[in-house]
Chains A and B, each alone.
Chain A
C-alpha cells in the first residue's frame, strides 16, 4: 500500500517568513496531490491541490510543487500570518487517498 511521509513534523516560522512542508509517497500510480489545513477543534479543509499533469500551482500566498519522478510534492506558504498556524496534511492518492501524519506549523510573532 501507499506509504506517505511528511517532513518536518513541527515547524516554527517567524511571521512574514516562508514555510515549506514536504510530502513523499511510494505509490507511483498516485495522480492526485492535495494539501489540507486543520485548525484546532475543526475538520480538515482543502487549501490547494494538484494533479499529475501539472508541475506547480499557486493560489495567492500558497503554492504546491510536484516532482513525480522523485515522488514528492511540497506546500509553500509565503508571507506567513498568525492565521496560518495549524496542522497541515498531505493526502496523495490514486483511487484512495492516504493522509500523512501531519505537520504542526507555528507562526511566531
Chain B
C-alpha cells in the first residue's frame, strides 16, 4: 500500500496563478483533510471531507477550494495564488467519521512558493 500520496512535491507559482494540489489514499478511508504548515504555527486545517460527497471548512479556508472527487481522491485548488499562501501543504486521511476521532495518516507534503 502506498498510503497517502501527494503531487506535486514542489511548486513555484507567480502571484495570481492557479493550481491544484492532488491527494489520493489507498486505505479505503472515509475522511480526508488538507492542512497547511507554516514555521512556528503547527498544522492548520484548511478543509476536510468526512465522507465522499461532503466537504467542510476548517480553520483557514479563505483562498482555497476543494473537491472530493471520489472516496480515494481529495484535491485542493488555489484560484489566484498569493504570497501569503507560501507554505507546506499536507493531505491526510482517517478511517474515523464525523464526531469520532482517530489516527490520521499524512502524505509527504507539497512545498509551495508563491512569488
Contact = CB atoms under 8 A, between A and B. Distances in A.
Do A and B come from the same complex? Answer: yes
B104 interface: yes
Contact of A43 (B44, B59, B90, B102): B90
A62 B46 CA distance: 30
Contacts of B58: 96
Contacts of A89: 42-43
Contacts of B40: 101-102
Given A32-B102, A43-B109, A101 B41 contact: yes
A34 B16 CA distance: 38
Contact of A99 (B42, B48, B109): B42
Interface in B10-45: 35, 40-45
Given A32-B101, A43-B90, A43-B92, A96 B45 contact: yes
A45 B107 CA distance: 10
Contacts of A99: 35, 42-44
Contacts of A95: 98-99, 101
Nearest to A92: B101
A66 B4 CA distance: 30
Residue among A1, A42, A43, A46 facing the most chain B CB atoms (10 A cut-off): A43
Contacts of A45: 106
A100 B40 CA distance: 10
Contacts of B45: 96, 98
B103 A34 contact: yes
23 contacts: A1-B59, A32-B101, A32-B102, A34-B103, A42-B108, A43-B4, A43-B90, A43-B92, A43-B107, A43-B108, A45-B106, A46-B104, A89-B42, A89-B43, A93-B101, A95-B101, A96-B58, A97-B104, A98-B45, A98-B59, A99-B43, A99-B44, A101-B42
